[in-house]
């Protein structure tokens, strides 16, 4: 069992790579470090990959996240549109109920309230792309 934490192992390997990239004369013997730490090179590099992912994998993850975000936003917009439409259809239903009540109360004679309900029904119908309706013809 290593006396070093996963983070410490990853940090040593990360520093070793940075020194190598910078062309430093200082070198870290990774094999020796792993022996002293009591772990295999494979496990050491696995820890490093989990803690310090390379830039290309980060870019790929960001691309995937952006794509997922766009898909979620599209689904959300669609769901919001459907919810608005459902609300409008519910309003149409409520108008029809009110209109039927007024017709039962006042008979087939067209009242001012019935005209207002009809106008509101047609206004909402237009928002939904439905044809206007005249209940008395």
| pLDDT tens across the length of the chain (137 residues) | 567 787 877 777 777 777 777 777 777 777 777 777 787 778 777 777 777 776 556 677 888 999 999 999 999 999 999 999 999 999 999 999 999 999 899 887 888 999 999 999 999 999 999 998 887 76
Q: How far is the C-alpha of 86 from the C-alpha of 89, rounded, in Å? A: 5
Is this model's pTM higher than 0.75 or not?
no
Helix (H, G, I), strand (E, B) or coil at 25: coil
pLDDT of residue 56: 59
Distance CA 112, CA 98 (A): 13
- Least Cα distance to 110 among 121, 99, 120, 94 occurs for 99
Copy the structure tokens of residue 32. Answer: 């020796």
Q: Is 132 helix (H, G, I), strand (E, B) or coil?
A: coil
Q: Quote the Cα angle for 108-111-116, to 5°.
A: 120
Please give the Cα distance from 121 to 99 (Å, whole number).
10
pLDDT of amino acid 2: 63
Q: Residue 1: its pLDDT value, please?
A: 58
Nearest CA-CA partner of 102 in 115, 92, 86: 115
Q: Do residues 121 and 92 lie in contact, with contact meaning Cβ atoms separated by under 8 Å?
A: yes
What pLDDT sits at residue 124? 95
């Amino acid at each position: 069992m290593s006396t070093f934490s996963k983070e410490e192992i990853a940090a040593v390997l990360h520093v070793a790579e940075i020194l190598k990239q910078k062309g430093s004369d200082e070198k870290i013997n990774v094999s020796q470090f792993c022996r002293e730490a009591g772990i295999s090179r494979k496990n050491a590099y696995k820890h490093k990959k989990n803690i310090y992912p390379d830039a290309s994998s980060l870019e790929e993850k960001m691309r995937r996240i952006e794509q997922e975000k766009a898909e979620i936003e599209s689904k959300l917009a669609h769901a919001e549109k459907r919810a608005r439409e459902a609300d409008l259809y519910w309003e149409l239903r409520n108008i029809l109920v009110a209109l039927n009540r007024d017709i039962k109360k006042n008979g087939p004679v067209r009242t001012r309230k019935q005209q207002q309900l009809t106008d509101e029904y047609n206004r909402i119908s237009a928002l939904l792309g439905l044809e206007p309706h005249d209940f008395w013809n």
